[in-house]
Structure 1
């Protein structure tokens, strides 16, 4: 997959920055793909998880537009914004002085939502079977200090909200590129 070639014909829609949106189900491999691409493209990553939470899984588009896209359109060179709290014992540090790069990546469930599409130059959907996503997500989130029962309940609630988002916004259909997330390292 040659993202540089795909981006070459795409306009910079956000203050001269080409944004790549990477979406998919929770646990699909979005963050792994974003990390690999960021290294290849010398790009900064914006995580939708910094704006979402278990309490507000998808009603955050205004926050990300205000904290990320609007400042870039206005010419800012550094981003600063608070990060959402996901767990009772989660105390995330704010993002401070994140540089604006010519290519930036926004990754996470909801990155290809309708409200964000006008800002994106390239849209990627990581397509991974939901049973694999659930196994990955539970393995990742059980290390956050909660019991496995609490994590399972949070995931059940999350999957309901995620299903509604996927049906309403249909990010897979919007994507310029759909990649198989079962073995994310084989994608690149």
Structure 2
């Protein structure tokens, strides 16, 4: 286990709850920056913390307009110490096809582009930003997704630019995450809160 991840997990567990009994931790960054991988490793370092992927809440028509769903299905129940139940969007069928349950665990990790948005920040114990330039992130994402999703990426990139222009996350990040040669490096973010 990466020593910085173990140390980060200990720091996160020591934070005061931010959403009812839950310490909500967001992992934000550009598409393709490694958010899902990092969130999974962080969840393991936290002893199996649940992870919510905002790709499950977004849709083709609402790439970034999932905030109301997140508030109603996730934030409100967790703030009451209840299990959250949220719909899972099927990107092939283009509809919500199943439900997932999320317990009010001591730490819940939320990962996805825009998880550091202004409407979520008041409910976050910590905002982590994956520090990778957008061009490198998008290149990695396109390589990961292959040519079949080229048209999707042609629409995604301007939509992501527009989202972060209107509602940037990085300036409010508590911590910046860089992938180094030997693991992840965690640095104090622009907000300097942690």
Q: Which runs of 5+ in 1 are unaligned?
A: 143-147
1:187 aligns with 2:184: yes
Q: Paired residue for 1:10? A: 15
Q: Tell me if structure 1 keeps the 8 A contact 2:88–2:100.
A: no
Query: TM-score when scaled to structure 2?
Result: 0.83
Q: Paired residue for 1:102? A: 106
Q: Distance in 2 between matches of 1:184 and 1:177?
A: 19
Counting helix residues as a fraction of each chain, which structure ranks higher? Answer: 1
Q: Which has the higher contact order (CA 8 A, sep 6+)?
A: 1
Q: Paired residue for 2:164? A: 166
Aligned-residue Cα RMSD (Å) equals 2.2
Structure 1 residue 184: Cα displacement: 8.8
Q: Which runs of 4+ in 1 moved over 6 A?
A: none
Q: Paired residue for 1:55? A: 61
Structure 1 residue 128: Cα displacement: 1.2
Greater displacement, 131-140 / 58-67: 131-140
Q: Tell me if structure 1 keeps the 8 A contact 2:51–2:109.
A: yes
Match for residue 149 of structure 2 among 148, 151, 156: 151
Match for residue 116 of structure 1 among 115, 120, 123: 120
Query: TM-score when scaled to structure 1?
Result: 0.85
Q: Paired residue for 2:27? A: 22
Q: Tell me if structure 1 keeps the 8 A contact 2:30–2:138.
A: no
Q: Which runs of 5+ in 2 are unaligned?
A: 186-194
Residue deviations 1:27-71 (CA, integer Å, cap 9, x gap) = 000001100000110210011111112321111101011111101
Match for residue 125 of structure 1 among 107, 111, 129: 129
Greater displacement, 24-33 / 133-142: 133-142
Structure 1 residue 11: Cα displacement: 2.1
Q: Secondary structure at the match of 1:125?
A: strand
Q: Distance in 1 between matches of 2:182 and 2:41?
A: 9
- Report the count of equivalent residues: 179
Q: Distance in 2 between matches of 1:139 and 1:157?
A: 16
Q: Secondary structure at the match of 2:161?
A: helix
Structure 1 residue 106: Cα displacement: 0.5
Q: Paired residue for 1:145? A: none
Match for residue 81 of structure 1 among 86, 93, 111: 86
